[in-house]
Structure 1
């Protein structure tokens, strides 16, 4: 009986495995050694691929890291909302509670080594690499900020936020202080700090007359 010819290797599956290994290697190396010491050669060795494989898909280690980080956040969003894509800020009708919940989650993310190293690396590289910085804002930062815009607009519709408030500006009252403390490492990021930001932003700091 004539034996059927052996199946040809599935290059698509092989490429996806290689791509996934490169993502994991880039994120791990940045977390372990820092962005400056991470190299294409190191990523290739860690992933078990040739460095030409990486250069065929990406022009630089910054591009590798950005794509790996976008993939990481997409997977986290899928887990958080049962596979539905970008996570939403909850809308329970209690704006203060909803914002505290999402800022606490952001604190946990920024304190996680899996996110801290890559996020700092991309933020720093984006300051000197205009193209990377623009991609970082367009693909990662702005979509997340638009979730705040959506929730604040919902609060305007229910009368919990004044009609004349610009949600895109107002959201920076919540995200700005958190980002500043994280970037400068001045004081620890805690849930209590996240709660205080929300309370100060929503209720103000001036004495009640």
Structure 2
């Protein structure tokens, strides 16, 4: 008796093809020109297959971006903790700068930002699945630095994260200056001056 095809495997391979096609297209075309039709054609699936899993172009873009980080988040998110908060934050901020400058990541991040501005539901999903877990991992590392006396015990950690990341995000968003390791280090130095006991 011939083996029946496994629809689950076929569905997962179609899903992965759609996410890969979305990332590829975002690198090739302006976000405004990205369409469900183009994603379907590139992935080799019908439009109805995409609409079966995602309600909108923004939702597909979000999952395509999320898939870039899936392997790292399956084991849980943790920042390095060598006992030296300055060194650890510089490693993290340099990696963030490199990621924002990488075209593979930059196109989906920019597209996702456009969608989040206009879609409160997608914004909530982004916060729940990505931003909140990342922020909690960052605050866990900052709490460790507080216990070690490297950061003031009464420091507002939510505000500390904003001080650290907002300038980087602003520079990236407006393309107002280069994102370099030196810039990442300067941000860490400045923020730690404010946070030290």
Which one has the largest radius of gyration? 1
1:59 counterpart = 2:55? yes
1:73 counterpart = 2:69? yes
Contact 2:77 2:133 in 1 (8 A): no
The correspondence of residues 144-159 of structure 1 with structure 2, limited to 5 A, is 144-159=134-149
**Aligned residue-pair number:** 194
Identify unmatched segments of 5+ residues in structure 2: none
Say which structure is richer in helix.
2
Runs (4+) off by over 3 Å: none
1:173 counterpart = 2:163? yes
Contact 2:78 2:137 in 1 (8 A): yes
TM-score, normalization by structure 1? 0.89
Higher relative contact order (CA 8 A, sep 6+): 2
Contact 2:64 2:108 in 1 (8 A): no
Residue deviations 1:123-160 (CA, integer Å, cap 9, x gap): 12111111111211221122112121111101111111
SS in 2 for 1:30: helix
Name the CA distance, whole Å, in 2 between partners of 1:87 and 1:185.
Answer: 28
Contact 1:74 1:85 in 2 (8 A): no
TM-score, normalization by structure 2? 0.95
Identify unmatched segments of 5+ residues in structure 1: 79-83, 205-209
